[in-house]
A and B are shown apart, each in its own frame.
Chain A
Amino acid sequence: MEKFTKLKSIAADLQISNIDTDMIIPKQFLKTIKRTGLGSALFYEMRYDEKGNVIKNFILNNTPFNKAKILISGKNFGCGSSREHAPWALLDFGIRCIIAESFADIFYNNCFKNGILPIILPENQVKELSEAARKNKEIEIDLIDQKIHKGDNRPFDFEIESFRKECLLNGYDDIALTLKKDAKIESFEQRKKNLTPWLY
């Protein structure tokens, strides 16, 4: 997983609430057995019409926003299915950070596994950032200090669990970290085998 420390980019503003995973990546792209190459499928039905032509007024189809690394959206971003194809598609498109008022649980979790930083901010701050985004202003995310700089002297603070932060900053592989606790897992399992033997 690629490390995440600081990120400076213009941001694409997609002010729709309840963006679901079917919108982020429709089902026909879930037939892949790979993680890569899904960027072209991101927001497919919003980006292309039924004949496959580019829909001009969709933000991610327009320069400079087609190069945005930050996405700003409404409430409950990523609701719906558990498909990790959603963060894979965002990542492949180039998005490394999503700022919204709230996220759906599974999607939020999936982001961290792929080096994407989802940031939750209150409504007024999201609005302010979305205005800055629409003016093509660059936004800088500093994960180390947990600050968002937007070109004035009033950076926003954001929260993140310390373990998730560590993993992003260092690009850790979760599984390798867990395997270090192998002895704990083994002894837990032994106890479980005595307590609930029918499960083994």
Chain B
Amino acid sequence: MAKTLYDKIWESHLVDEQNDGTSLLYIDRHLVHEVTSPQAFEGLRLSNRKVKLPGSTLAVVDHNVPTTDRSKGIADKESAIQVETLSKNCKDFGIEFFGLTDKRQGIVHVIGPEQGFTQPGMTIVCGDSHTSTHGAFGALAFGIGTSEVEHVLATQTLIQSRAKNFKISVDGKLPLGVTAKDVILSIIGNIGTAGGTGYVIEYCGEVFRNFSMEERMTVCNMSIEAGARAGLVTPDQKTFDYIKGRPLAPKGENWEKALNYWSNLYTDKDAKFDRELYLQGKDIEPTVTWGTSPQDIASINGKVPDPNLEKNEDRKKSILRSLDYMGLEPNTAIQDIKIDKVFIGSCTNGRIEDLREVAKIVKGKKVNKSVDAIVVPGSGLVKLQAEKEGLDKIFKDSGFDWREPGCSMCLGMNPDQLKPKERCASTSNRNFEGRQGRGGRTHLVSPVMAAAAAIEGKFVDIRKII
């Protein structure tokens, strides 16, 4: 029978299946960070259990860490305890750990691919919903809760039920200035934040085939914002080239074996999907979110919606609530929205390619006087690479703050937060109420759109600039 890529990966990891469909799935790789793991390790200790395959697990600190000078450690006591707890847990259980001063430290979903830890055909989990990022490599990757983190540590398996298959194809070419971020925001706007619930999405079509690995990661990263369990892209030569030579990539004879195995990871021609969506690249525009859900999108030439035109009562209520929170009037043109902050970074858009694109826009220009702008590289290695290319200098000359790597203002667990009513153009993935700081107002955009907004002090159509 013809199978999808998801079916193939699922079946090749199935240890056991019960009559009601409850399955035991084998997990190849596990990423761990400081926020969702302490209770899992505590659970192992309480029940005298060991970590089954410490070598399949990689840990890093990212959510809590300061992005300013780290030489004196972490000022916030609770954050410091969480970071120390992870370090101790890794030592006790024999897990490789990238600490605060390790140059490989960074956001968990940036360092996995960067180290070659992420590979096609694998099952990868992490106590973090944006684990879907790794699907860009044709790996089945999804976020889990802390109890499941403990379950994977102890057994290298997870109890799961099979998801349905959802094909999203974007065909043709994207207009200049339209990015992977605009593609995924448009998809979420189209199907809604619950549109993918119960599905694994496979991204197909010319647009994804032409995307770089970084761009594929940006799209897969936000699969969770569409409610999907995971996102997948068929691995191809670009994938293999990206992995080759990375510290944890297969070597020598194993490389040949792996390559052979990976080359068979694709959806069969006649495979059936439970749902399909076809979009045209040419129809996608630079996109800005206006509300408090990633599905609240508008084109850069569009307007904030008018709740009075909404017929669905539930939807009307939620628009009213969002507009109130965001401090926006109905029918305001997106290009009239002024901003106070710009955040470039996160596991969605904190990779070297993102920083290069931003640098192109801001080079030789100054950040608007009314705007505070920061660039937070996704990892220590991204930071080093950017500095090697002189990007840090371009940012600093323009008036951006150049920071140490971490999650930073994506969720504001560290001191990088919005103040109440501050408005931010952010390259991150969530615009929920309070996400970037209590009362903070988040507009999700692509890196180039955020860069242009930093210069102009408001949203502008990037297509008119490049």
Q: Which residues of A contact B (CB under 8 A)?
A: 16-18, 20, 22-23, 26-28, 30-35, 45, 50, 74-76, 79-84, 87, 102, 104-106, 109-110, 113-114, 161-164, 174-175, 178-179, 181, 184-185, 188-189, 192, 195-200
Q: Does B254 contact A (CB under 8 A)?
A: yes
Q: Does B364 contact A (CB under 8 A)?
A: no
- Cα distance, A81 to B439, chains bound together (Å): 19
- Contact-residue size bin, chain B (C-beta under 8 Å from the other chain): 35 or more
Contact partner of B194 among A76, A181, A195, CB < 8 A? A76
- Cα distance, A195 to B8, chains bound together (Å): 14
Contact partner of A17 among B79, B157, B314, CB < 8 A? B314
Tally the A-B contacts, defined by beta carbons under 8 Å. Answer: 177
Contacts of A102 in B (CB 8 A): 194, 197
**Known contacts being A76-B227, A79-B227, A189-B156, is A16 close to B144, with CB within 8 Å?**
no
Question: B159, A174: Cβ atoms under 8 Å?
Answer: yes
**Known contacts being A17-B318, A179-B155, is A34 close to B39, with CB within 8 Å?**
yes
16 A-B residue pairs with Cβ-Cβ distance under 8 Å, sorted by A, are: A17-B318, A18-B318, A31-B78, A35-B146, A45-B438, A50-B420, A50-B439, A75-B194, A81-B128, A82-B128, A84-B127, A102-B197, A110-B148, A113-B145, A178-B151, A185-B24
Quick one: closest B residue to A103, CB to CB? B197
Contacts of A23 in B (CB 8 A): 432-434
- Cα distance, A174 to B453, chains bound together (Å): 49
Question: A178, B438: Cβ atoms under 8 Å?
Answer: no
Kindly identify, within residues 8 to 49 of chain B, every residue whose CB is under 8 Å from any CB belonging to chain A.
15-16, 18-22, 24, 26, 28, 35-36, 38-39, 42, 47, 49
Question: A33, B38: Cβ atoms under 8 Å?
Answer: yes
Contacts of A178 in B (CB 8 A): 24, 151, 154-155, 157, 159
Question: A30, B38: Cβ atoms under 8 Å?
Answer: no
Contacts of A50 in B (CB 8 A): 420, 438-439
> How far, in Å, is A67 (CB) from chain B's closest CB?
26
Q: Scoring B residues 176 to 203 as 1 if CB is less than 8 Å from chain A, else 0, what string do you get?
A: 0000000000000000011001100000
Contacts of B79 in A (CB 8 A): 31
Contact partner of B432 among A80, A83, A105, CB < 8 A? A80
> How far, in Å, is A76 (CB) from chain B's closest CB?
4
> How far, in Å, is B407 (CB) from chain A's closest CB?
10
Question: B21, A161: Cβ atoms under 8 Å?
Answer: yes
Question: B318, A31: Cβ atoms under 8 Å?
Answer: no
- Cα distance, A189 to B146, chains bound together (Å): 24
> How far, in Å, is B435 (CB) from chain A's closest CB?
5
- Cα distance, A181 to B154, chains bound together (Å): 13
